Amino acid sequence: MATLKGEIAGKGAYGIDAPKVIRNLLTIGIILAAVGVVVLRFGGIIGMIAAILLLFGGIVCLAEGVLMIWSSKKGKAYVVKALIEKLNVQETDRVLDVGCGRGFLLHSLAKQVPHGKATGIDIWNAEDQSGNHPTVTLRNAEAEGVTERVEILQADARQLPFEDGTFDIVASSLAIHNISHPAERQKAIAEIVRVLKPAGKVALLDFQHTGEYAQVMIQSGLEQVQISKWHFAMFPPVRIVTGVKK
């Protein structure tokens, strides 16, 4: 596995992934735990069993919420580093981040291409990431010192606004699963393959549909398609699907 040519992003403000999900988990966890404490006061075998189940459910929800926060703040960095190492990015490469959000992967890639260009596209949905907005992405690029080599565009992954064979590297983190229909996800991956140069590399990081991604990548003509082991530094655990264009 290649080593990084530059550091990983970390000076910007990258928010929390899936804030609505985390908020719901924490809220449900608190409610279940509170109800469990109340039920426990009634005593009796049935009350005790119900209270234990409620408390257990509350603890699980709270733990999942906390793990997701840790994943956004700390764990993501370990997995993004592993993703970039798989790509063996060159200093002059032109790279694309599909679904860049506030720019953690985008700016990490930009740090690897001091003589190249890093482009990010997104629709900047606030449900996908807290404080998600293109102005935040640009502020983070400034904080990371990569403004001169970063550009961002508002665009849909299913209709990328680039010519065929534009990029040496295309990557995406926790984005494609937000496209709900399989046929539409297939369109997004086909677009990724289309804008990739011959011998260019793809890496898609996600916690679901990774087997589907791999199958579509093969059908789209990519070679050396591989699905990584599970990475537990993020929660939910994720896998990275990689491939090379002929």
Q: How confident is the model at residue 40 (pLDDT cuts 50, 70, 90)?
A: confident
For the ranges 3-7, 68-72, 87-91, which has the lowest average pLDDT?
3-7
Given a cut of 70, is residue 1 above it in pLDDT?
Answer: no
Mean pLDDT confidence for 130-149: 93
Average pLDDT over all residues of the chain:
95
Q: How far apart are alpha carbons 221 and 244 in whole angstroms?
A: 9
Record the pTM. 0.91
Q: How far apart are alpha carbons 30 and 44 in whole angstroms?
A: 23
Given a cut of 70, is residue 189 above it in pLDDT?
Answer: yes
User: Within its chain, how far is the Cα of 220 from the centroid?
Assistant: 22
Q: Is 40 exposed, middle or buried (0-12, 13-18, 19+ CB in 10 A)?
A: middle
pLDDT at 43: 75
Tokens of 7: 């550091």
Tokens of 229: 């082991």
Q: How far apart are alpha carbons 25 and 114 in whole angstroms?
A: 41
Given a cut of 90, is residue 157 above it in pLDDT?
Answer: yes
